Structure 1
Amino acid sequence: MKKRWLLLLLMGSTFLAAACGISPGEEADQGNAAQNEETNSADGEQQDIVESQVNDEYYRPVITEGAYQPSQSRGITLRLNSNVNLESFETGLMRLSQKYFPIEDHFFQEGQFLPSGTVTHWLQRESENYPEGLNPEDNGKVEEDERNPIYLQTLLEQDYYVQTDEGLELAGISIGLGMNKIDYYRKEQFGSTFESEISRKELLEQGQRMADEIVSRMRSMEEIPDVPIVVGIFEQSPSDDLAGGVYIAESSAPSGADSVNGWTQLNHRKAVFPLAGTESNEGNSFANFKSEVESFFPNLSGVVGIASYVDDQLIDMSINITTQFYGEGEMIAFTQFVNDAAETYLPMNIPIEITIDSIDGVEAFLFRETGSNEFRGHIFN
């Protein structure tokens, strides 16, 4: 959940509360107590580890020469067709990576080995100009059933390190393949946008083929150490979908292997409330929460919840409340009421985040961590 991660970093932290259990001035346990251990990378750059961990659900970052290093292919993930797909793509790969690189003894850095130009070429259609293009060549067709679609929309690299006596050492690399469920394309001569739907079976076949090719290419790059490479296949949702996509398959290539070692299909899905209805316990809980909130504050534009499931088990929920904003006192009262309603009606024992928006942006944020019974939060001035 990216919003909770950003809030924990920015808050430092001032938490709200009154009767509802959020108290002003409460400080994060480790907010300003970051301590770094200095090491040196292979190319002589000094690499540090941020020892403080604001939440045990997130990796501690690696910093180089005292600064956070963005990905070498920064911005390419923006090719996904919505912000919710982008967030699910990035955080979902971190979640998959935990199975191979446990949070307690691994450190995270955005991808530093695949240059932007290389990734851009790989995302092209195979052609004379782009012989390394992973997408099929353009057959010149426009009709949905005849056109070769763009399968691979974007690619994401994440690097994971361990601390050794000699310093930081790369433990593995994770690669996310952002695949299209629907290929949107425009032909100027027709003046309109077309859609080509790609079946799950075809998407998986193409993703698995591309994964083997990518791993093989990475093994041939001298600058990339011989470490395990984890690959996840992400099926991005349609552009008008509120929930975002999910990872549908994962695999890994052990050190020295030029291809992945078998695939595990994943049973991940998302549901949007109230669209999903009250057929489930969590759907009914959300309906009660929504009704309670709407009865307190009439100027609401919408209350929408997104639930994430793994193997049909609810693992987290995020809720967005859009409202008109007239004054600070009104927003404080409303946020405290939302806090009480959330503790009363929403499912227990899962992490939940609630964002309260207005036309001016985010007004307030509440979240509950795994294993906690109380929400914490912040009202933005």
Structure 2
Amino acid sequence: MKKIIKGLLLGVSLLLLTSCQGQTTEKQPLPTTNRKEETGKIVSTGRVDEAEYQAVMIDGKYEISQARTLSASYLNSHYNLANFESGLLTLSKENYSVDSYLFREGQLLDKQTIMNWLDRKSKDNPTGLNPESEGEPLVVQQVLEQDYLDKKTQKLAGISLGIAVNQVDYSQDPARNIDQETALTVGKQAAQTVIEHLRQIEAGANVPITVGIFEQATKDDIAGGAYLLKGMTKGSEVTKWTEVKEEYITLPVPEGETNSATKDGISNKYRDFKEMVQGFFPNLSGFSAIAHYQDKKLDKMVIKIETKYYSETEIISFTQFVGKNLLSSLNIPGEIEVQINSIEGPQAFIVKKANENTISSHIFN
């Protein structure tokens, strides 16, 4: 139950973040690059989910990143923000085991350095990662650092970098499309610059660095963007980039489109489930779903239902109906999460874990 409440609170907190795509031109001197590891007493948060990292606390306090507000400020939607951060965690687990490493918010890259990178290259800003000419679109939209400490030594033993590139540049009117090949080329170059910077910092000089290049979706896409490439450093460069086979798909898929959700029939199953629920409970103001695929296989589906039911009995009846029919109508192998909300806030939460035929639910009083 703690896991369920934790997941819902995370989703609610993300919805409260303000998203925009403004760029700043403020310049300040770059910081020195001899930053060392923290020397305070390290403890972990513990965990309620064995699939997730324990996080680091220094001297009894959670360490926040110096650049903690940038992702929310620069990415164009909370959907992109959620996928950017959680996707990098997923890539990290391939190289840093949750049982052997502790998670720490990025501590080596400071806010001003990242802001300078995200601006255009110029005489006043020679480190800018975006094209100097105003006639060219802004490609690099965000840089995210995550740190991983060895559980036994409690020393920094791995870094993960997320480089977010744009599919559309909204900084000028009209907005400009960016072809994927160009975005990935610029993203790789940006990754190389950030890696070289980290190698100049004492704490980051020798640790392995996992890198992912994330394509930000358009601002009206409720599925959000996804990682396209991943790599691992060998020395001070990534010698091999590998495709990340990941998709976030809005359901149901429009007629005429083809993707993983149409090929495996999930889109049609969801459409039938949605129509059946709406048939019995017509007083709904919203009904949407996002399917997450990895390697062409459904990993998780998140369904959000907005209701106009307010009495306790209405909410209980509706939750029981949805939960029961979830098993019969959406009998799929991946995890399913249903968030039931009203204009006043969350009302109920239902979860079916992957490859299981039982559900868990919670109704908020």
Task: State the TM-score, normalized to the length of structure 2.
Answer: 0.85
* Residues 191-340 of structure 1 aligned to structure 2 (within 5 Å): 193-254=173-234, 257-276=235-254, 279=262, 280-340=264-324
Measured against aligned partners, the alpha-carbon deviations of 1:292-321 in whole angstroms (never above 9, x if no partner) come to 211221111222111111222111111111
- Assess, with a 3 A threshold, how the Cα gap between structure 1 residues 162 and 372 changes in structure 2: closer, same or farther: farther
Give distance in 1, aligned partners of 2:214 and 2:149: 23
Q: Which residue of 1 aligns with 2:149?
A: 161
Find the aligned partners of 1:45 and 1:375 in 2 and give their Cα distance. Answer: 43
Distance 1:227 1:347 in 2: 44
Counterpart Cα distance in 1 of 2:130 and 2:206 = 26
User: Which segment is superposed worse, 88-97 or 57-66?
Assistant: 57-66
Q: Percent identity?
A: 37
SS in 2 for 1:103: coil
CA gap 1:370/1:102 in 2 versus in 1, 3 angstroms: farther
CA positional deviation for 1:242: 1.3
Q: Distance in 1 between matches of 2:82 and 2:183?
A: 21
SS in 2 for 1:96: helix
In structure 2, what is the equivalent of residue 96 of structure 1?
Answer: 91
Q: Is the 8 A contact 1:349 1:373 kept in 2?
A: no
Give the count of matched residue pairs: 331
Which of 321, 337, 346 aligns to 1:353? It is 337
The answer as to whether partners of 1:4 and 1:353 remain within 8 angstroms in 2 is no
Alignment counterpart, residue 164 of structure 2, candidates 178, 183, 189 = 178
How many Å apart are 1:197 and its aligned residue? 0.6
- Aligned: 1:149 with 2:149: no
2:24 aligns to what?
none
Instruction: Using the TM superposition, give the Cα deviation of residue 380 of structure 1 relative to its aligned residue in structure 2, in angstroms.
Output: 2.0
Residue aligning to 1:14: none
Q: Secondary structure at the match of 1:60?
A: coil
TM-score (norm 1): 0.82
CA RMSD of aligned residues (A): 2.0
Q: Is the 8 A contact 2:108 2:198 kept in 1?
A: no
Q: Which letter does structure 1 place at the counterpart of 2:346?
A: V
Task: State which of 52, 64, 76 in structure 2 corresponds to 1:81.
Answer: 76
Cα distance in 2 for partners of 1:371, 1:104 equals: 23
Contact 2:351 2:361 in 1 (8 A): yes
Q: Partner of 1:366 in structure 2? A: 350
C-alpha distance in structure 2 between counterparts of 1:5 and 1:172, whole Å: 30
Q: Deviations over 1:59-112 (max 9, x none)?
A: 111111112222221110011111111000000000111111122222211111
Other structure's SS at 1:367 match: strand
Unaligned runs of 5+ in 2: 11-35, 256-260
What's the CA shift string for 1:4-60, capped at 9, x where partnerless? 5724889xxxxxxxxxxxxxxxxxxxxxxxxxxxxxx94421110233x31222111
**1:128 aligned counterpart, secondary structure:** coil
- Structure 2 distance, partners of 1:104, 1:349, is 26
Q: 5+ residue gaps in structure 1? A: 11-40, 141-146, 187-192
Whole-angstrom CA distance in 1 between matches of 2:94 and 2:292: 18
* Structure 1 residue 375, shift from structure 2 partner: 2.0
Counterparts of 2:55 and 2:254, CA distance in 1: 37
Is the 1:293–1:338 contact (alpha carbons within 8 Å) kept by the matching residues of 2? yes
Alpha-carbon distance in structure 1 between the residues aligned to 2:317 and 2:63: 40
